[in-house]
Structure 1
């Protein structure tokens, strides 16, 4: 299907995405999208119509359906964020490709993100968390929980896993933020170019002076044997580095904020620290750091009483799937004792988050230790004064002033 064959737009459909007003609640305008039908129509910034999937069962079925494409390089792939409009033709490994290319890339990485390897990283994550809290407590009793804690925890972990120098963390953290959250195309493209140049140089250096991280394994095996070319390896590393800390930063900060705003749930966790795993799963469901996933229909699909036509844009709402009353009783209530394991906070289907075991370990250790060591942690400003990210970005606070 060509661009001229895409069905006409309609000005009456609600614009998407929208900004949150409360950091851990869906945008207020999402209320009109939570009707009886599991699919509805929304309008993107360029006027293009898209199917917004809000039903939990329907969303899981579509995310596992090979008739939906993640191929960013397709010229008619939906563009949700205007700053990425000129990036057509660039398909990022893992997240922006379909099978069989996606399966080939993912097979190279699965062993490195398995449960056993993540379990082996837990002592290191615990040491880093303890050191960060030591520093916070020494400087206290006030801190920005994002910069002093939520950001360095996942940055340290992904650097250790990849064997990327943590001494460069200020550089790649700033460029990562600009790449995924810049206000303009020029800023995002400049950040991407700098990240690409940095990682290209790092791969070349490691080719001459190998280390013992995942990046070194990819160079020694996949690159050396011709299973990856240099540019694909650099882009894959960029995806792992950015995704490996950007979403988890938000999840830690948003998780801490949500618990502070629900003291009865926090008290339950303090009384029974064994609830930390269930708490993390409920936080992933309730906060939905990744608000949506974008797909393109390759064929006609019948779902939820609607016909999604080939060439249609499909936006799968992670937030509204995780708040679907047909899947969760009283879904707008934060309850750490509910069974929330079938949430879609990590996506679903072949593109389900590769690093979810690492993210769970980081969240369990970071949040469990934070409230054990600083039991009277609380917001230092009113909730409505906490600055939060725009709706097109990973959801979470920009800063989180706390005191104790």
Structure 2
């Protein structure tokens, strides 16, 4: 039988412990231990739920009675946008439920299969080697974000979509603004408009003169309108530019802070696949997602009522000791089946296979080429993206011993 939740709702934890740049907000573990599905108070007065337990988060991610529609959500942080939000723009799959979401996803799934992404491995390896060579020429004292972590996934998503890489700087700033959680709504709107205008121009070009790229393939689909193609293209571009770049940079920071694990990555190449999954679990750079109940849902002895917002803490779920032994340790040999770094269910990350290919190649290659790689500043001096929806580092100064 369901039971009544605790009378006192918790507030959304945000503070990470000083000196623990890889751990989730420290109060999440306390909440998780006490009640993996807890009542949560929202700044606008709404009372909803916070899910931190792995089983609860995974079940809710897969439940069709949970909605991602922006206009139904409440925001758990005091510095967020004003609610209610408008509905998702045309083509923005992230804010759509089935069947609208299903329609778009089916059109894209064939473009992001495991087989097709593996076919891109050779090109990822070429781009990686080019940037390792450039790093070596530049010498120690380089910012790894700008010189390595950001350009590799940026080049890959640009090539995949057919976006001129020379135009990257024109939309990189807009992407950064979109992912800044405390950016004014006016700035976010302007950034989205900038990306929209850029992609819309590309869509028109490719409809009249298609090339061998994903965006051209989509433009030949008579079922997709120009507005939908623009929204889909902008979403794929923004996600491909930011998320994997942060995983490469933050993953490098984590390995530099755990030298024994970095040595494993260098000396045991067969660990690459497992290492990627463990870094996704341990870091969970996209740590939180928000949903709304469309119907009453009973889970873990609690009843989430229709209309209540549920905050799903993926980073807490990935540190749940009920799922992963010694979860706060980075262990590249760990069996990580069920890690939620890419999400789960109908909205699981569409580009996860591309991200896996990029991470599997770029991470070991970096530490193999530069076995003496180290931070060029004290760990506490590394600037963290604490105001971004995608967590990571702003920059990562590194050095190594030259031969």
C-alpha deviations, 1:154-207, integer Å up to 9, x for none?
A: 111111111111111111211100111162112111111111111111111222
Matched, 1:15 2:20: no
> Which residue pairs with 1:364 in the alignment?
360
> Which residue pairs with 1:113 in the alignment?
112
Matched, 1:245 2:241: yes
> Which residue pairs with 1:207 in the alignment?
207
* 3-state SS of 1:123 partner: helix
Structure 1: 5+ residue stretches without partners = 1-9
> Which residue pairs with 1:170 in the alignment?
169
- Label 1:20 to 1:350 Cα distance change in 2 as closer, same or farther (>3 A): farther
1:209-288 → structure 2 map (5 Å cutoff): 209-220=209-220, 222=221, 225=222, 227-288=223-284
CA distance in structure 1 between the aligned counterparts of 2:301 and 2:344, rounded to whole angstroms: 21
- Label 1:11 to 1:18 Cα distance change in 2 as closer, same or farther (>3 A): farther
> Which residue pairs with 1:64 in the alignment?
62
CA distance in structure 1 between the aligned counterparts of 2:165 and 2:17, rounded to whole angstroms: 32
- Label 1:11 to 1:183 Cα distance change in 2 as closer, same or farther (>3 A): farther
* 3-state SS of 2:33 partner: coil
> Which residue pairs with 2:32 in the alignment?
34
**RMSD of the alignment, in Å?**
1.8
Structure 2: 5+ residue stretches without partners = 1-6
C-alpha deviations, 1:334-386, integer Å up to 9, x for none?
A: 11111013100000001111111100000011101100101111111111111
1:137 is displaced (CA, Å) by 1.0
CA distance in structure 1 between the aligned counterparts of 2:155 and 2:88, rounded to whole angstroms: 29
Matched, 1:397 2:397: no
Q: Give the conservation status (yes or no) of the 8 Å contact 2:9–2:39.
A: no
1:19 is displaced (CA, Å) by 5.5
1:18 is displaced (CA, Å) by 4.4
C-alpha deviations, 1:242-272, integer Å up to 9, x for none?
A: 1112111111111111111111111222221
CA distance in structure 2 between the aligned counterparts of 1:39 and 1:190, rounded to whole angstroms: 37
* 3-state SS of 1:112 partner: coil
Q: Give the conservation status (yes or no) of the 8 Å contact 2:14–2:25.
A: no
* 3-state SS of 2:93 partner: coil
> Which residue pairs with 1:307 in the alignment?
303
Normalised TM-score (structure 2) = 0.92
The aligned length equals 389
* 3-state SS of 2:335 partner: coil
1:32 is displaced (CA, Å) by 2.9
Q: Give the conservation status (yes or no) of the 8 Å contact 2:271–2:333.
A: yes
CA distance in structure 1 between the aligned counterparts of 2:85 and 2:34, rounded to whole angstroms: 36
Q: Give the conservation status (yes or no) of the 8 Å contact 1:83–1:188.
A: no
> Which residue pairs with 2:97 in the alignment?
98
Q: Give the conservation status (yes or no) of the 8 Å contact 1:26–1:319.
A: yes
C-alpha deviations, 1:95-151, integer Å up to 9, x for none?
A: 111111111101101111011111111111111111111111111111111111111
201-210 vs 292-301, greater mean Cα deviation: 201-210
CA distance in structure 1 between the aligned counterparts of 2:24 and 2:66, rounded to whole angstroms: 25
CA distance in structure 1 between the aligned counterparts of 2:76 and 2:209, rounded to whole angstroms: 41
* 3-state SS of 2:110 partner: helix
1:129-140 → structure 2 map (5 Å cutoff): 129-140=128-139
1:12 is displaced (CA, Å) by 6.1
> Which residue pairs with 2:86 in the alignment?
88
Q: Give the conservation status (yes or no) of the 8 Å contact 1:37–1:304.
A: no
